[in-house]
Amino acid sequence: MNSTTTHFVPPRRVGIYEPLHQFGMWGETFKNNIGNGGDMNSPSHIIIPNYQQIENNNLSEDTSHGTGGTPHMFDQEASTSRHPDKIQRRLAQNREAAKKSRLRKKAYVQHLETSRLKLIHLEQELDRARQQGFYVGNGIDTNSIGFSEPMNPGIATFEMEYGHWIQEQNNQICELRTVLQGQVSDVELRLLVETAMKHYFDLFRMKSAAAKEDVFFVMSGMWRTSAERFFLWIGGFRPSDLLKVLLPHFDVMTDQQILDVCNLRQSCQQAEDALSQGMEKLQHTLADCVAGGRLGEGSYIPQVNSAMERLEALVSFVNQADHLRHEALQQMNRILTTRQAARGLLALGEYFQRLRALSSSWATRDREQT
């Protein structure tokens, strides 16, 4: 499984300056970036991990006392003691290298500072965009620099998995589209159809796990784009609506098929109405519960356990709604031929892609107006 902390930048890593760590880093990184004007013949000052030695220009290969250092020192010590001008040259090179080191370090620190400011700025933008309803998922936590709210790791995992799910979905839609444009055998199509169906079932499984972690999160649809959220019904799409939308896009259907699809639409509608009624009752009883006792005296919910129990029921509603979606998809698979099912899944997938694209267009449009 994915690590739940990979998306999260702990505050302490940003802004804290660890000389030892930085030295190794910027030495390597900036050798190439800034252009290594340093003398390749005397790289020993880079290998030595003690930062202090550079500042004090302490490094000197002609100290024959051979203190610690690198093996490199010992090699040169023998040769330089007999050649004073070499010593001078080495010292000069040292000074040069140290100066360049300092400049590189300064450049790196400045780079870090600007990056940090940019990061803060980006996160603020992200926050603003999120408030406007633009989908900003994948577990990006806008509080990583400021105060952090502990994010539910189960939900963080779900958001990450959903990001992958969308990517895989896009791939499958692409493949379906390509394959249907050419000649393809029924056997191959069946495989694609089964894969696509299983992909949807995977999503329902993911949602069920997420609902156990935080049912309100799943119900809110915050993990979806704004236009998709507009059509949200108990944490997902409404099967009868989708059937209505997709019906005209099917190829020629037999009379029996048309009858079956109409019956399916009707039974979906009835099941949806039943679940909606249940949800309404849940809202009413919860409201009664919350308003119980005396309001206006600064007291808490008298029967808070009962209120909590009601909220537990919400999880089963989300599960039942997903179960309904699952069954509806399976029934369509039974009614249609393989080719029809493939086209149907392609149409369904593209429908949601269009909704997601609409959300982006809308969010962009908002920004232009401000």
Partner 1 sequence: MQYRTETRSSLSSYNKVNNMGMFPSDTLARVESMAAENAVVIFSVSTCCMCHAVKGLFRGMGVSPAVHELDLHPYGADIHRALLRLLGCSNGASTSPGGLPVVFIGGKMVGSMERVMASHINGSLVPLLKDAGALWL
Contact set with partner 1 (CB under 8 A): 208, 212, 260, 263-264, 267-268, 270-271, 273-275, 277-279, 281-282, 285, 309-310, 312-313, 315-317, 319-320, 323-324, 327-328, 330-331, 334
Residue 184 makes CB contacts below 8 A (sequence gap 6+) with: none
Nearest approach in angstroms of CB 281 to partner 1 is 5
Nearest approach in angstroms of CB 273 to partner 1 is 6
Closer CB to partner 1, 117 or 311, in the complex: 311
Closer CB to partner 1, 54 or 332, in the complex: 332
Nearest approach in angstroms of CB 223 to partner 1 is 20
Provide the β-strand partners of residue 20: none
3-state secondary structure of 236: strand
Between CA 196 and CA 189 the distance in angstroms is: 11
Nearest approach in angstroms of CB 327 to partner 1 is 4
Q: Tokens 């493939």 label which residue?
A: 342
Closer CB to partner 1, 59 or 275, in the complex: 275
Closer CB to partner 1, 101 or 340, in the complex: 340
Closer CB to partner 1, 227 or 328, in the complex: 328
Look at phi and psi of residue 266 and say left if phi exceeds 0, alpha if psi is from -120 to 50, else beta.
Answer: alpha
* Contact present, 333 and 193 (Cβ < 8 Å): yes
Q: Residue length, the chain?
A: 370
Between CA 328 and CA 123 the distance in angstroms is: 41
For residue 323, what are its two tokens? 């179960």
Closer CB to partner 1, 27 or 239, in the complex: 239
Nearest approach in angstroms of CB 158 to partner 1 is 16
Closer CB to partner 1, 172 or 331, in the complex: 331
Nearest approach in angstroms of CB 205 to partner 1 is 11
* Contact present, 42 and 94 (Cβ < 8 Å): yes
Give the distance from CA 1 to its chain's centroid. 14
Q: Could you tell me the CA-to-CA distances from 111 to 12, 27, 29 in Å, in that order?
A: 18, 14, 12
* Contact present, 211 and 218 (Cβ < 8 Å): yes
The conformation of residue 233, written as its DSSP 8-state character, comes to: B
Nearest approach in angstroms of CB 271 to partner 1 is 5
